[in-house]
Each structure stands twice: as structure tokens, then as C-alpha cells.
Amino acid sequence: MATLPLSSTTPSTGRTENCFSSYYSSSISRVMEFGLKNGCNSKLLFSSVNYKPMIMRGSRRCIVIRNVFSESKPKSEEPIIEQETPSILNPLSNLSPDSASIASSIKYHAEFTPLFAPNDFSLPKAFFAAAQSVRDSLIINWNATYAHYEKMNMKQAYYLSMEFLQGRALLNAIGNLELTDAYGDALKKLGHNLEAVACQERDAALGNGGLGRLASCFLDSLATLNYPAWGYGLRYKYGLFKQMITKDGQEEVAENWLEIANPWELVRNDVSYSIKFYGKVVSGSDGRSHWTGGEDIRAVAYDVPIPGYQTKTTINLRLWCTTVSSEDFDLSAFNAGEHAKANEARANAEKICSVLYPGDESMEGKILRLKQQYTLCSASLQDIISQFERRSGEHVNWEEFPEKVAVQMNDTHPTLCIPELMRILIDVKGLAWKEAWNITQRTVAYTNHTVLPEALEKWSFELMQSLLPRHVEIIEKIDEELVDTIVSEYGTDDPKLLMGKLNELRILENFHLPSSVASIIKDKITCQVDEDKKIEISDEVDGLVVVEESEEGDIEKQAVEEPVPKPAKLVRMANLCIVGGHAVNGVAEIHSQIVKEQVFRDFFELWPEKFQNKTNGVTPRRWIRFCNPELSSILTKWIGSDDWVLNTEKLAELRKFADNKDLHTEWMEAKRNNKQKVVSLIKERTGYTVSPDAMFDIQIKRIHEYKRQLMNILGIVYRYKKMKEMSAAERKEKYVPRVCIFGGKAFATYVQAKRIVKFITDVGATINHDPEIGDLLKVVFIPDYNVSVAELLIPASELSQHISTAGMEASGTSNMKFSMNGCILIGTLDGANVEIREEVGEDNFFLFGARAHDIAGLRKERAEGKYVPDPCFEEVKEYVRSGVFGSNSYDELLGSLEGNEGFGRADYFLVGKDFPSYVECQEQVDQAYRDQQKWTRMSILNTAGSFKFSSDRTIHQYAKDIWNIHPVNLP
């Protein structure tokens, strides 16, 4: 299907003129030729263009231009015979393009939407032409989807996330459209292989880790299940960074994913919104607050279609790009030679969408991050409100807003949705505070993704007040009302209890109490707490002063000194999310329990009805169907149909074949073929040669101390040391050959994580060149890990490590992908590991380590000096310090594991505590792997037990329990 030619309307006549009208006016066919890769010529015959009008909904008249072109049957060097493509005037007709029409469409785009020289049809050009051809089909379904949504005016969900880690789109799109074979044949006719063409696509650099990949899986499920929804994010020009591995470890360079172009996006220059920063708030004569002055930028929409599987539904991911108008370019300054000053406004605007998570150690970095978050929230909400008003027609009933709109905040990054929605409703739309607050709370919901204190965002009040003065006023009022609620709930009879609740629950941290509440408590200047203690509220101290009575009855006030300097005033974003929304969910059963019992215990006691669990999931389309076609075929054969792609419960039927020898043979063959692909990947990316007959042991995820890549590599070092102490025969008998594969990025300013990367690569450089060890042990760090790399590694995996400190991983989603692909996990009872182990069976999961409820006690034991390290842990650290892995000093890295207390020390993540258990568990892995029949059975049962972890199940639960939206089937 070709794209529509550009058109314009002639004002005087109202007629629509094709931009290429002079070219087509004679209705004479044209043959275009271009050289293919193999040197032969292919010809495309374009017949006359037919103009047919179509009246769309509404008052505007839209002209659709139909392009009729054709292609020949099989003979590749003969002129093409006319073959009319399906009419684009009926977007909902059942289109079944064959390879011939697809080849014609690809040729059309190679000619008329070129990014390359006309005399070349290389792989990159073939990819762009193929992608634009696919996009034509997506646009048809996409426009039809939203035309129907406009007509039906049903409730929609809007998913706001700072990350969308999509991966490559070509194979996913044609897979969902069920056109994989047709595109494969079409490209073959044009001299290219589909897989080679697909490899030309660069991963969209819009995310970093599980947060962004989850968001993308959710969009796939929303489209597949026909739920009305949008995604909103930012269009990062340079992504996070491209990771280079050098002799010094990780180095970062800017991502180049947009360097040529992104064939999937469409810029919507007519969809843009003003975003303001700084300035001041003034009261107008109308009684409203007006935010004036300051810095103004524009957020422009870039749309990416997201197709569902076996459905016409195609939803939208709208990404915002920031800029300013040409009027903001200071031409006078430029002509005066002040070029940087002339372009200052544009540079300030564009840098907002330059980099994902810019370093925030400087004040400039903090400002930029807050600007990013506000831009996402403001532009998205303005767009959502614009849609609501348009669909409402002349009579907008704001009370219906929560009945038409559900906003989901993916983590705390979009928290500013709450004060921004309040600002728009009150200041722009003229609603009263109470009405606006009711609407906001019914509209917004929050997903928590972490229990780590540093990841629960807190913003400087002073910074926020400068950058977003009106929002601070709104947040202050929300906090004041929250204080009133807390006082009403707990009363003032027990000031100590009340102050404890206020300290935990308030949005504003290190603030004086509102005067109304302070005066109530001051009426109880001295309150009896127990027989020995009294409480007094002091003017000098924000909080309680404990006073004690001496035996003589005299009161001795404990010294309470005002901190110097005063603690910074902060805005607690997670608290604002909970207060301002109607639902709070964790992302795994154990995580949700920790959220309720520890992280937000006081909020749970206050509003238990707000808290839910929604265990994460991943899309089985990308993570089995498309990335592992051999396994997919096996599943379809043994289950009896491919219904499992949409109904993963069908995977459980594999259990009855778990001991079938024929299935074992097919299963092992598919796994080895996938391993062979990874052998090639490793050779290409690192230069190392590894054996496909070794066990592939993989840990791929963001580098972080709590994920404990350090434990993994220390375990490998311990294994290597023991190997070196044995004879060749003893080594072979004791150890199963392994290829230990790592992948993941360390945040650019996370020094300890970067030390771990350096250590892994140093260990690999030593072990991989040790002739005594040979193929018995290899260590590989694959640089620049991304979705496309994961799509190769996960199908080839045999053992996967999910070994975070118990109670610290919210869920994890890579563990689900590995399990779906028949990989056996070694891990702790953390995050979704708990539920995966329950589903696949305890015998099919390698478990080690402390439990979540033990962690606090173990840290306390360490702080009290009672911890006694295991000899094997001391042994491995000493071996590292011996210099066997080079001259680099690892004192700072290993120093984090020493001592009993202090920042960055005392082994906060319990590597030493869990290390002996980990080593013992790895011995069990070796023993199990030697029995390949047993191992294959375990592998099959992992896939069979993974059915729960489809994002389809998760989305159904969000839709029912939080968003209250329903599937909408297109006519």
C-alpha cells in the first residue's frame, strides 16, 4: 500500500490539487527503475491516479487520493503487470496484501520517500522503504481506530511514562499484522533477506530498563486486547547513552538512533502546546490566579502507531519534542556576532528532550530533570483535555471527566500531573477547588516500582518554587488539607502519635505545621504521654520536645538543638501521588505487601482501599512468538494450535508432554540453534569465541548494587580459583562448561556500578585467555545491551540469574521472559521470582539466600559487629586482591563489602551473607545440568508455568480494577 501523495486545497475553487499533479496529469504510466543489490533492474509501472472524495465526520471535507499501482508476477526482470492494490477508502476492509503488492509498495517508498541516493537499494534503504510500507497499513488501521473512538466517546486510559523501551519495530509490526511471510517473500524478490533488513533498524532510545520495557509491553497488550488507550512520553534525541567497553571499563557516547530518521513516527505540527517555567503568580480581577512571565516553550507531538495482534486496533504512542517558535531566534544578536545568545531560547528548549535522565548532581541537571517531568505532564494533560472537550461538543461537563479519562502515572516521574490538572481546572477552566480536587483524585492513579529510598523522588521545594510557582501553591494547599485530614483521623489527644503520622504522611518535608493545626496542638502545651514523660510543643522546634520529670518532681527539659544547617525543605512526590490519586499499586505480590507494610504503612492504615497489587507481565508476542520462532512452532505443534499467543493459559498444556522424548529432542535442538546465534553475536561484539555446547548462564539488566552482579562475578572468580587448584581431569569431572554472559548499563554517574562493569571485563580478559581453562569457563560482557540484544540472548539462555537482595526488586520482568523461553532461574525470593517459583514448581527453580523478612535483622546484626564472614567469601576477596586480574586496584569496589557501618560500606546488599548459599546453589546447577533429560524437563515446565506472566493478564486487571475501561471492537 503506497502512502498518499501530498495534497493541498486551492482556496479559489476548493478543489484539491495533487502536489504531483503535473507529473500525473497526462495519465501516462511511468516506469521507474533502480538497481538492486544483485545488480539487476526491477521496474514498477504506475497507472493513472484516481481522485475520489470522501466526506468525513464533522463539517470539514476531506479529500482522499487513491494511488493505483501494480507489480508483475514472479519473473523478476520483466516489466510489472498491473495489479490494483486494495482501496484505501475503506480502512476497515479485510486487507490481505500479497508479496507482489508489498514489493511494489516497498519500491514506491524507495523512490518517493527517499533518504538515500536514488541509484542504490542497499540494506539500510531497503529497511526504510519496508518500514514506510508497513506504516501505510498501520496508518489505515490507526486512523480507523481513533475515528471510531471519537464516534463512540468511550472512556480511555492514558499511560504516562518517562520511558518506553520499544526495541525494533519492523518484525513486531509485520508479526502483529500477520504479514511476516509476505514481507519476507517481497524482500526476497527485491534481492534482500528479511532478517538482514530488520537488523538495519536501530533500537528506539526512549528508555533504559524494566520500567520502559514494561510500558511498551503494556501498549502492545492494550492494542491487542482492543482497549482504548494512549501512551505519552518524551522523544529523547540521544537516549540514555550508547555504552562502549574499553580498557577503562564503561564509556558513554551519545545515542544515534535518530541520526538518519525514524520511519515509524509522524510529526504533528498542528498538535503543540505551550509549556511555561519560572515567572510569577498574580491574582486577576476575575478572582483567578494567573501564572505570568517566565520562560515559554512549545511541546510538539510525534506519533508512533502501536498495532495489536490479530486485530485492526492500532493505538498511539505520543512523544513530545520541545522547541520554540522562530520569533525567539534573536536575529539582531546573531548579526552582531553573538551567535550563542541568538540561539539561546531554542537551545534551552531543545535540551529538555536531548537526554534521558540527565545527570542531576549539578543544579542545572536537577532543573533539566524537573523540566522534563513537567513537560511530559503538562503537554499530555493539555492534549487529553483538548480531546475531552472536542468529544464533549458544545456542552462540556467537567464532572464527566473521570468517566472519560483514566491517567496512570508510571512511577513518580509524572507526579506533576496532579498539581497540573488542578491548575488547568481551576485557573484555566474556572472550576472551584473542591470540584477540581474531586475530579483529579478520581482521574489519576499511581504505580509504585521501588522500595529503594533514593528512588522515591523528593524535589527541592526552593527549586520547584522557582521553576513552577503556581504548582507549589497548589501543593501547599493539598498538603494543608492532608494535615487537616490526619488531625481529624487521629485527633490531638496523643500529640506524639499525631506528630509521628504527620512526619510520615505529609507531602512537604521539614516544614512547620500549618498555623491552624499548630494552634490546636499548642492548646495542649504539656500533655501526659506516660508516667515519666511529658510533651511540649515549642515555637523554636518543628515537632516534639520530650520533657522528663525527676524523682523530686522537677521537670528537666531534654536539650533539643536546632539542626545547623536546617534540613532542606522537600516535596515528597510519592506522597503526593498517593494523596492525589484513587489507586496505588505495587507490581508483584511480595512488593505490594512491602509497600503496604513498610514503605507506605501509614498511608495504608489511613486509606487501605487505595492499595492494590498488579503483578507485571510481558507480551508473549515479542518475547516468544517473534523473538523465538523455533520454540513458537514447537509450542503450536504440541499444544495443537497457536491460541497460546493470545491465551497463555494454553501453555500449561505442555505439562502433560514434559517427559516426551520427541518433545525433548525438538526442544534441545531449538535451544542449540538459538545458542549458535549468540555465539555469532559474542564474536561480533567482543571478539571472544565460545562453545555452543557449554551452558549459557546469563544476567542481563541494569547494573546496580542491589541487583548483585557483583555476587555473580565473585562467584565466577571463586569457581575459577577452584578450577586452577585442580588437575584438568578433576576440573572436567567437577564443573560443567559455562559461558557466563553479562549485559547492562551503569548510570553515567553511578561510580560503584561502573567499577562492577570494569571488574567483570577484567575477569573475563583473564579467564578467556587462560589455556588451562579453555571452554570450561568463559566470561563475556556484551556492550550496549538493549531490547534487540535481549531478543537474541533470552531464547538461547539455559540459566538466568535474578539474585537481587530479597525485598529490594519490585518485580522484574526479564525473569518472566527467561522463564517463558524455557530458561531455568537461579534467584532469591524477591519480586516476581516468588510467583514464578510457585507457578513453575519449586523443583524447577534454584533458590538461595536470605528472605525479605530477615534483611533488617541481618543489617542490624552487622551494625552491632556480630557478623562473621564465611571463609569462602574472605577467600575470594583475597584472591581478587592478589592481582590475578591485572594491575587495577579493586580496593574501593571490595571496600563496599567491609566494615559494619557507613555510607557505601558494611555490605548493605548482603553479598557476603548470601555468598555461601549462592556457591552451594551453583553446585546444584552443575549437577542438574549433567542430566540433560532432567534439565530439559525443567526447561519445558518453566515455559508451561509461565502463562500467568503475560502482560495481557496484567492489563485486564488494570482495566477492570483501576481504569474502568472496556474493550472496543472496531466494526
Residues assigned a catalytic role: 449, 701-702, 707, 813, 817
Q: 300 pairs with which residues across the strands?
A: 272, 321
Of 868, 859, 897, the C-alpha closest to 880 is 897
Is the separation of the CB atoms in 264 and 202 below 8 Å? no
How would you classify the pairing of strands 41-46 and 266-277? Answer: unpaired
Is the separation of the CB atoms in 803 and 764 below 8 Å? no
170, three cell numbers: 519492523
Q: 180-189 and 99-112 helices cross at what angle (nearest 10)?
A: 60
Of 273, 334, 303, the C-alpha closest to 145 is 303
- 3-state SS of 64-82 is EEECCEECCCCCCCCCCCC
Q: How many residues does the chain have?
A: 971
Radius of gyration of the chain (CA): 31
Query: Long-range contacts made by residues 704-707, C-beta under 8 angstroms, separation at least 24?
Result: 704/750, 704/753, 705/752, 705/753, 705/756, 705/896, 705/908, 705/909, 706/452, 706/804, 706/805, 706/808, 706/809, 706/909, 707/803, 707/804, 707/809
428: left (phi over 0), alpha (psi -120 to 50) or beta: alpha
- Residue recorded with cell 471535507: 61
The Cα 104–Cα 126 span in angstroms is 12
Q: 160 pairs with which residues across the strands?
A: 232, 409
439, three cell numbers: 475530579
The Cα 224–Cα 772 span in angstroms is 53
Q: 177 pairs with which residues across the strands?
A: none
Hey, is 614 helix, strand or coil? coil
The Cα 535–Cα 567 span in angstroms is 23
The Cα 327–Cα 340 span in angstroms is 16
Q: Where are the beta strands (DSSP E) in 112-222?
A: 156-160
Of 589, 612, 590, the C-alpha closest to 959 is 612
- Residue recorded with cell 563475556: 780
Residue 884: how many CB atoms within 10 A of its CB? 15
Query: Long-range contacts made by residues 925-933, C-beta under 8 angstroms, separation at least 24?
Result: 925/736, 925/799, 925/826, 925/846, 926/734, 926/735, 926/736, 928/824, 928/846, 929/695, 929/736, 929/798, 929/799, 930/736, 932/668, 933/664
Tell me the residue type at 19.
Answer: C
| DSSP class per residue in 208-234 | -SHHHHHHHHHHHHHHHTT--EEEEEE
